[in-house]
Structure 1
């Protein structure tokens, strides 16, 4: 027997309803304790990082990476909604393109568009 995939992501929140609404509105993710998000099959990276890694903020225990399509359009829509979108040239890689945003409680989210 082995694990066949990620079955859920559960995390604490100061305002679970507002945070779930933010994910639905801005990223189209059905979020909440009674919601099921049917996602597309694809790669998932499961990677512990060193405690002193600077890949994401040291005050955050994890970063959520989400596969997306239409990264430029999504980033423009997020910026139009007042959400800061961080881009770096080194995030344009052979593995695809990446941008970073933060959810309303500061959790870093990496948006990943696979190469074509």
Structure 2
């Protein structure tokens, strides 16, 4: 009989990256780039200007993960203070614990954790000055009818 792996409550509170939540990059003409991706690669653009790709969590198949893809106007201040032409958003769990660990390690934290209906966000810089967005999505807890008896 094979072993069943379940994510324990302790595993869910360990501060760590759990996946990529978004890929953002500069474009000379974001509208033209979006149109090109839509027409040539079949991207379904969403109302907020990008595309969303959904997948299931292997440990919790009822949970849907989203990866956001969005081109930004070249020169946008959203990536500042980074001078790079891209920014990656990483999905994390226990964002508060992660920020505390990063502060203790001397990592540059650019802002306070911001909370929205769809999750919590904070921005940091990596060793080479790349701005990174950390996102802890709002996860729905399984209902009692979802759990095995």
Match of 2:30 in 1: none
Spell out, residue by residue over 1:23-62, the C-alpha distance to the aligned partner (whole angstroms, 9 max, x if none). xxxx669xxxxxxxxxx56210010011132111262110
After TM superposition, give the deviation of residue 93 of structure 1 in Å: 1.6
Distance 1:60 1:92, change over 3 A: same
* 2:99 partner SS: helix
After TM superposition, give the deviation of residue 100 of structure 1 in Å: 0.8
Distance 1:59 1:93, change over 3 A: same
Spell out, residue by residue over 1:90-111, the C-alpha distance to the aligned partner (whole angstroms, 9 max, x if none). x322221111111111111110
Unpaired runs of 5+ in structure 1? 1-26, 30-39
Match of 2:95 in 1: 71
Match of 2:138 in 1: 115
Distance 1:96 1:78, change over 3 A: same
Match of 1:85 in 2: 109
Spell out, residue by residue over 1:5-30, the C-alpha distance to the aligned partner (whole angstroms, 9 max, x if none). xxxxxxxxxxxxxxxxxxxxxx669x
Distance 1:97 1:109, change over 3 A: same
Moved over 2 A (4+): 86-89
Contact 2:120 2:135 in 1 (8 A): yes
Structure with the larger strand share: 2
Match of 2:47 in 1: none
Higher alpha-carbon Rg: 2
Unpaired runs of 5+ in structure 2? 1-15, 19-56, 59-64, 140-149
Per the normalisation by structure 2, the TM-score is 0.47
Aligned length: 80
Paired with 1:101 and 1:67, the residues of 2 have a C-alpha distance of 13
Paired with 1:28 and 1:46, the residues of 2 have a C-alpha distance of 18
